[in-house]
Structure 1
């Protein structure tokens, strides 16, 4: 993985925390990255080039007016006032190459001087065993602070550890062994399909990223929420609020005004125009 800086720009050393979305159902992690970039006056400092990410290109994503700046698959944005770097991933990883991508990302972040990586992902609502929406969207977490995935700070914020995380379970253990170099990808190819059926959670991109980043000695916190495919903007607002609580981010006057998020320009066309009311 290669970092290509914008002309005259670089990753700020003071931005010790990094936000990283992991692709999953509803793309909530990417929507949150959009909100943070748009609302915190972040500047694009460069892009990442990795052969395992599918190519894509689009128009200026954030505005407030389209400038014709091209949006690329992996971009890095800095918000020095919040000591925060945000990576936005706009296209999926090539099928079967998630392990290689996670390894490359972990190598890059370990060498970039980042101290805390926050991975954002959504989970399939259909896999939720104990549904409790009495207090709104429930945030789950997974942390490298302890071997069992718990974190005292996250617990104090009222979040629950992802119960399905079990470091001794076969797929989680294989991910850990891969990240630590104890086995190779070829060693698990024969059981890969079986493992994906056995453990949905450990087969998701956030799990590979968590395992490889943890193996590099980085502090990693995964923030997770359940959702379904569809309009996931409300999920993004709530997961974005969770990020602000975790990192104790204040609402910057240049971004979140009156407690409201600044919606990115690209969201204007996410779901197309509203329906014609005359049909009702």
Structure 2
């Protein structure tokens, strides 16, 4: 993976927290990163070029009057006022190469001096075992601070650890061995095999990122929410808000227009296309 700085830019040592999405159902992690980039006033500092990420190109996603800046598959942003580095991923990883991509990203984060990585992703609502909407949409987490994935601060925020995380289960063990580069003959299981129910979560992108960042010695926390495909903007607001709470971001540094908390990216205006022609009704 190659990191290319924009002309005249440099990575700030003060931006030690890294936020990035893991691609999943509804693209909620990417939408949440969009909100954070737009609302913290983060500036583009460069882009990452990785052979395992499919190419794509588009216009500036955040400004209503684009200056000709291109949006690329892996773009890095910094918000000095919030102490954040953000990476937006706009295209999928080549099939079967997720762990290799995660290793490359972990190497970049370690070399850049990032101390804490926050991964934002969604999970399939159809797999949620117990539904409790009494307190609104629930945030789940997975942390590298303890062997069982728990984190005291996340618990204080009222979040629940991902119940399906079991470091002794074969899928998680296999993923950990891949991340550490220590795959012995005893690990004859692969994610290309017929997966059992318990193998589903370790086969997802967020799990590969979690394992590789952890293996690299970085503190990593995954913030997760369950959702279904459709209009997932509300889920993105929820996940972005969780990231702000978790990192204790100053509300004055995350502010939208007209007193709103968030600045909605300009590109969201065309996410679902133009409204229907009402004359047909």
1:119 is paired with a residue whose SS is strand
Partner of 1:261: 262
Q: Check whether the contact 1:21–1:88 (CA below 8 A) recurs between aligned residues.
A: yes
Judge conservation of contact 1:40–1:252 (CA < 8 Å) in 2: no
- Please, what is the CA RMSD of the aligned residues? 1.8
Whole-Å separation in 1 of the counterparts to 2:43 and 2:245? 22
- Per-residue Cα deviation, 1:58-108 (whole angstroms, up to 9, x for no partner): 011100322221100000000001100000000000011101101111111
143-152 or 132-141, which deviates more? 132-141
1:82 aligns to what SS in structure 2?
Answer: coil
Give 4+ residue runs of structure 1 displaced > 2 Å after superposition. 184-198, 251-260, 276-280
8 Å Cα contact 1:18-1:87 kept in structure 2: yes
- Deviations for 1:114-157, whole angstroms, at most 9, x for unmatched residues? 00000000000111110111211110000000000000000000
Alignment match, 1:237: 237
C-alpha spacing 1:277/1:260, structure 2 compared with 1 (3 Å) = farther
Measure the CA separation in 1 of the matches of 2:255 and 2:107. 32
State how 1:17-56 maps to structure 2 within 5 Å: 17-56=17-56
Residue 244 of structure 1, CA deviation = 0.7
Match of 2:276 in 1: 275
Match of 1:141 in 2: 141
Alpha-carbon distance, 1:187 to partner: 5.6
TM-score by length of 2: 0.95
Structure 2 residue matching 1:167: 3-state secondary structure: coil
Change (3 A) 1:190 1:133: closer
- Quote the Cα distance in structure 2 between the aligned partners of 1:171 and 1:190: 8
Query: What displacement does 1:195 show?
Result: 3.6
- What residue ranges of structure 2 are gaps of 5+ in the alignment? none
User: Gaps (5+ residues) in structure 1?
Assistant: none
- Shift of the 217–185 alpha-carbon distance from structure 1 to 2, 3 Å rule, reads farther
Query: Do the aligned partners of residues 186 and 96 (structure 1) sit closer, same or farther apart at CA in structure 2, a change above 3 Å counting?
Result: farther
55 and 153 in structure 1: CA distance in 2 versus 1, 3 angstrom threshold: same
